[in-house]
C-alpha cells in the first residue's frame, strides 16, 4: 500500500534509538525527507539536528532547520520522552520523586512536545496542513505507584493532543496519539536500565525480566514486550494522507496492557 509519504518532510524527536530510530527509518523508507532531532547521531537516512530538548529554545531550532533544508514541515512525531537525561526509571512510590524530579519529567515529556507543536503549527498551516503524532504511554491511563510523575506528564500530553486537534483541525492539521506499552528498547536492556532495576527487586536476571517477568507483571496478553517497529508502522499510517479522517484519536499498541473499555 502506498502511504503517499514520498517527498513529505517529517521531523522526528528522540530519533537516535528505540522507537524514534524505527520511526525515522520507516518514514525515510517510505520516501519522506526526515529531520531527526536527538542529542546523539542517528543511524538512518536523515538530516540530523543535534539538540537537547531540555533546552526551551531547541524545538524552534529543529523546525527552523527543517524549513531551511526542505522548505517546511508536513509531519511532526513527538517521540522524545521517558527518563530525562541522567535519570533512571523505574521509581517506586509517590513520595520518591521530589519537586526537581517532577519538573524535569514534565520538561522532557510534556513541555518539549508543547514547544515542538508551537513551532510546527504555523509552518504546517502555511503548507495547508500536516500530521502530528505524539508518542504517549499506557501509563497515562493506568495510574499506579510506579513512575507516577511520568504517567502524569503523559496524561497531560494526551490532553494537549486532543486540544490541538480540535483547535487546528479546520486548518488541515491532524493530531493523534500512540500509547505504547512496554517496548523492547535500550531503556529496558542497557546496563543499569529498567530490566536490571526490576531484576534487583525481583531477584531475577535481566534476560528473565525481559522475556518473562515484565510481561507477566504487566499482564501482557501477547506474552512479550512490544517491538519498536510495531510503533513505527502505526506512526507511518497516521502520518499518511490515507488517515485523513483520523484526528484526536489515541491508539494503544501495548500487547494488551490496558484492560479498560
Higher pLDDT, 193 or 233: 233
The answer to whether residues 160 and 110 touch, using CB atoms and an 8 Å cutoff, is yes
Residue 199, pLDDT > 90, answer: no
Catalytic residue selected from 108, 150, 168, 257? 150
pLDDT tens digits for range 201-222: 888 898 988 999 999 999 999 9
The whole-number pLDDT of residue 249 equals 98
Neighbour order of strands in the sheet with 47-50: 47-50, 33-38, 9-13, 75-78, 130-135, 173-180, 250-253
Within its chain, how far is the Cα of 124 from the centroid? 20
CATH classification for the domain delimited by 9-183+226-253, as one of 3.40.250.10, 3.40.50.720, 2.40.50.1040, 3.10.129.10 = 3.40.50.720
- H or E stretch covering 238: helix 228-239
Distance CA 166, CA 122 (A): 16
The Cβ-side half-sphere exposure at 128, using a 13 Å CA radius, reads 2
CB 97 within 8 A of CB 151: no
Residue 194 pLDDT exceeds 90: no
More confident residue, 145 or 175: 175
CA-CA distance, 217 to 176, in Å (whole number)? 28
Chain centre distance of CA 23: 10
C-alpha grid cell for residue 22? 524505527
Q: What is the pLDDT of residues 1-29, one digit of tens each?
A: 999 999 999 999 999 999 999 999 999 99
Q: What is the DSSP string of 94-136?
A: TTSS-HHHHHHHHIIIIIHHHHHHHHHHHHHHHTT-EEEEEE-
Peptide bond preceding 225 in cis form (omega within 30 of 0): no
Average pLDDT taken over every residue of the chain? 95
- pLDDT at residue 187 tops 90: no
Tell me the HSE value of 192 on the side-chain side, using a 13 A CA sphere.
4
More confident residue, 49 or 198: 49
pLDDT for residue 208: 87
- Residue 174 — pLDDT band, cuts 50, 70, 90? very high
Q: What is the pLDDT of residue 53?
A: 97
pLDDT for position 196 = 86
Q: What is the CB neighbour count within 10 angstroms for residue 43?
A: 14
Cell numbers placing 164: 490541538
pLDDT of 198 reads 85
For the stretch 199-221, what's the b/e string if a residue is b when 16 or more beta carbons lie within 10 angstroms of its beta carbon? beeeebebeebbbebbbeebebe
Q: Would you say residue 195 has pLDDT above 90?
A: no
Counting residues of the chain whose pLDDT is more than 90, the rounded percentage is 84
Asked whether residue 197 carries a pLDDT value surpassing 90, the answer given is no
Among 40-49, 85-94, 120-129, 225-234, the least confident range: 85-94
64-75 exposure pattern, b = at least 16 Cβ within 10 A, e = fewer: ebbbeebebbbb
Residues 113-130, mean pLDDT to the nearest whole number: 98
SS3 86: coil
pLDDT of residue 261: 80
70 assigned to active site: no
182 CB-near residues (< 8 Å, 6+ apart): 188, 214, 215, 218, 220, 225, 226, 254, 255, 257
- Is the pLDDT at 144 greater than 90? The verdict is no
Ordered by start, the domain boundaries in the chain are 9-183+226-253, 184-225
Residue linked to cell 486548518: 171
User: What's the pLDDT tens digit per position in 35-52?
Assistant: 999 999 999 999 999 999
How does pLDDT run across 66-103, given as a tens digit for each residue?
Answer: 999 999 999 999 999 999 998 888 899 999 999 999 99
Amino acid at each position: 500500500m502506498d502511504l503517499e509519504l514520498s517527498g513529505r518532510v517529517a521531523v522526528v524527536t528522540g530519533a537516535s534509538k528505540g522507537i524514534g530510530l524505527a520511526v525515522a527509518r520507516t518514514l525515510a523508507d517510505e520516501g519522506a525527507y526526515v529531520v531527526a532531532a536527538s542529542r546523539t547521531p542517528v543511524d538512518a537516512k536523515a538530516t540530523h539536528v543535534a539538540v537537547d530538548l531540555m533546552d526551551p529554545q531547541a524545538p524552534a531550532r529543529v523546525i527552523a532547520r527543517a524549513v531551511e533544508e526542505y522548505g517546511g514541515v508536513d509531519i511532526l512525531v513527538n517521540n522524545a520522552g521517558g527518563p530525562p537525561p541522567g535519570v533512571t526509571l523505574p521509581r517506586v512510590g509517590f513520595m520518591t520523586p521530589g519537586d526537581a524530579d517532577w519538573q524535569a519529567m514534565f520538561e522532557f515529556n510534556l513541555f518539549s512536545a508543547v514547544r515542538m507543536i508551537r513551532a510546527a503549527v504555523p509552518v504546517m498551516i502555511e503548507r495547508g496542513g500536516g500530521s502530528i503524532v505524539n508518542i504517549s504511554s499506557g501509563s497515562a491511563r493506568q495510574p499506579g505507584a510506579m513512575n507516577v510523575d511520568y504517567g502524569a506528564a503523559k496524561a497531560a500530553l494526551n490532553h494537549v493532543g486532543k486540544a490541538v486537534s480540535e483547535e487546528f483541525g479546520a486548518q488541515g492539521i491532524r493530531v493523534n496519539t500512540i500509547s505504547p506499552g512496554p517496548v523492547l528498547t535500550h531503556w529496558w536492556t542497557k546496563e543499569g536500565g529498567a530490566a536490571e532495576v526490576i531484576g534487583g527487586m525481583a531477584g531475577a536476571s535481566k534476560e528473565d525480566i525481559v522475556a518473562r517477568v515484565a510481561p507477566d507483571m504487566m499482564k501482557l496478553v501477547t506474552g512479550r514486550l512490544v517491538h519498536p517497529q510495531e510503533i513505527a508502522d502505526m506512526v507511518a499510517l497516521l502520518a499518511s494522507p490515507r488517515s485523513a479522517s483520523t484526528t484526536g484519536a489515541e491508539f494503544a499498541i501495548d500487547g494488551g496492557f490496558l484492560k479498560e473499555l
